[in-house]
Chain A
Amino acid sequence: KQEVTQIPAALSVPEGENLVLNCSFTDSAIYNLQWFRQDPGKGLTSLLLIQSSQREQTSGRLNASLDKSSGRSTLYIAASQPGDSATYLCAAIKAAGNKLTFGGGTRVLVKP
């Protein structure tokens, strides 16, 4: 059974600092891995999706890497802003159209 872990559970940084969020998964036979952002009281917004054949994906200040062999993905957010404050969740999917297995999330606070 796939297990996804995110450490730390919470992170506080001053504005401008780069953020590094970690995600680990126990079963390397994944189809893809997705990073989400969740604001309080809201649903999940998809940030990046990395296919199993890819090593990384980039979108603006966001970069996500994937290392299947070690069971790890990392989300980098460059030059953090107070608006980046949210909970970030990673989720692994085993097959196309299949369910997502989520980590517990990392709650990020960027202080002005």
Chain B
Amino acid sequence: GAGVSQSPRYKVAKRGQDVALRCDPISGHVSLFWYQQALGQGPEFLTYFQNEAQLDKSGLPSDRFFAERPEGSVSTLKIQRTQQEDSAVYLCASSLPRRYSSNQPQHFGDGTRLSIL
């Protein structure tokens, strides 16, 4: 497909379990972003990759959150020892095709809705 793909679309986990959320960016996109969106609110930045390098992880709420993009394409957001406050929609976005230099919009996936029981 041509868009950003996220899986799973829905994830239910018990408190204390670990979860892994996957993002397939648009082919050729250099930048990849993760955002967290609580119900009724705007998304909030979690972390940013340029190729395989994690350049900004200032938005990760705790050390239970970990993201990686080992080959500069697919990214995984992992949450360890989940808590109820982790329940949210996790959105992935990609931007900046390699042949362009700047000012490209971010393209979002449909998100993963995470519910912690």
Interface centre among A51, A91, A99 (most CB of B within 10 A): A99
CB–CB A51/B33 < 8 A: no
Interface range on chain B: under 10, 10 to 19, 20 to 34, or 35 or more? 20 to 34
Interface centre among B35, B105, B107, B108 (most CB of A within 10 A): B105
For B94-117 the 0/1 string (1 means CB < 8 A from A) is 011000011101111111010000
Q: Is A7 an interface residue (CB 8 A)?
A: no
A interface, by DSSP: helix, strand, loop or mixed?
Answer: strand
- Return chain A residues, CB-CB under 8 Å to B109: 43
Contact of B42 among A45, A99, A103 (CB under 8 A): A103
Contact of B105 among A6, A46, A98 (CB under 8 A): A46
User: A98-B48, A99-B45, A99-B48 are contacts. A43–B106 as well, Cβ < 8 Å?
Assistant: no
Listed in ascending order, the chain B residues whose CB lies under 8 Å from chain A are 4, 6, 30-31, 33, 35, 40-45, 48, 50, 56, 59, 91, 93, 95-96, 101-103, 105-111, 113
Write 11 A-B pairs (CB below 8 A) sorted by A numbering: A32-B103, A41-B110, A42-B110, A43-B108, A46-B107, A49-B105, A97-B30, A98-B48, A99-B59, A100-B33, A104-B41
| Additional pairs, 8, CB under 8 Å, beyond known A46-B107, A104-B40 | A6-B42, A43-B91, A44-B91, A45-B108, A49-B105, A91-B42, A96-B101, A97-B102
Listed in ascending order, the chain A residues whose CB lies under 8 Å from chain B are 4, 6, 31-32, 34, 36, 41-46, 49, 51, 89, 91, 96-105
